[in-house]
Amino acid sequence: MSVTQLRASSPFPPPPQRVTSDTLLQKKLARQPIAALTAYDYPTARLVDEAGIDMVLVGDSLGMVLLGYENTLPVTMDEMLHHTRAVARAVRRAFLVADMPYGSYHASARVAIQNALRLMKEAGAQAVKIEGGSVRARLVERLTDAEVPVVAHIGLTPQSVHSMGGYRVQGKSLVAFKRLSADARALEDAGAIAIVLEGIPRELAASITAESGIPTIGIGAGPDCDGEILVFHDLFNLTFSPPAKFTRQYADGAAFFSSALAHYRDDVSARNFPSDAESYHLPREVHAALEATRPHARKA
């Protein structure tokens, strides 16, 4: 019996076809938009993956939306490994990318390669993402030589929040426009498989996308990129902070959860939960035996 016949006779559904870096490139060439989202845990990653999202990013934004940090800088390699492992257990179709946290690739190429390999070998990532422009080109080459696919990230790079003087739109001047365009070319030439464009004018993102031979994934970069990525918690109003201009709320998760939590609290307080229907009971024979051993109430 052939492999095809064996698969056809199997009682189990075939696994979904996995999205790869080549899949993303083919979508760019076919002008098919790439949908990407962040995920940081198993249940969220399952929902995102089963919704047909093309790329899942375990972003260091988890530091702010999950761990309560002020920014992404405190996030550690151990935290990124922990969350990437959880997401990898859930993802069956999407292309899985993990952020390299601040400090994990800045000291030397040797340290960067070791950390990137850990995210792939120990945590199950298919690629890593690093922030920075032309200054990272040599590192992208080294990682690519080590067979680590790299997603680059330019524009508003959150790990540079202090050197940028805050979270500000980048590329608004002619000089900055040309610099970021050159950054994108250098990173592509170095071997990056895709590039995230964050917090830049629509016109700049459109120009980079048109000139680039690799997919561009926008966030706060307008509708002309090859794809779009947002933070999961922004879609559902779960960030407890004012939304950025470029986000869109698709459901009010905060209101939904708050209502359900208040309902639960009230049911417990009123002894409406748990009910008898939500309780376990002894078998009848055990219950009868217990009743038989109990002393009868004293007659009046």
Q: Which residues contact 139 (CB under 8 A, 6 or more apart)?
A: 105, 109, 112, 130
| Torsion on CA atoms 25, 207, 72, 233, rounded to nearest 10 | -70
| Dist CA 252 CA 104 (whole Å) | 35
Q: What is the DSSP letter of 93?
A: S
| Dist CA 141 CA 63 (whole Å) | 28
- What are 290's two structure tokens? 């217990």
Identify whether 147 is a catalytic site residue.
Answer: no
| Dist CA 206 CA 62 (whole Å) | 28
For residue 195, count CB atoms less than 10 angstroms from its CB and return exposed for 0-12, middle for 13-18, buried for 19 or more.
buried
3-state secondary structure at position 7: helix
| Dist CA 234 CA 250 (whole Å) | 9
Among 79, 131, 188, 198, the one annotated catalytic: 198
In order of 5, 8, 10, 15, 16, the CA distances from 2 in angstroms are 5, 10, 12, 18, 21
| Dist CA 79 CA 87 (whole Å) | 12
Strand partners, 95: 55
3-state secondary structure at position 58: strand
Length of the chain, in residues:
300
Active site residues: 198
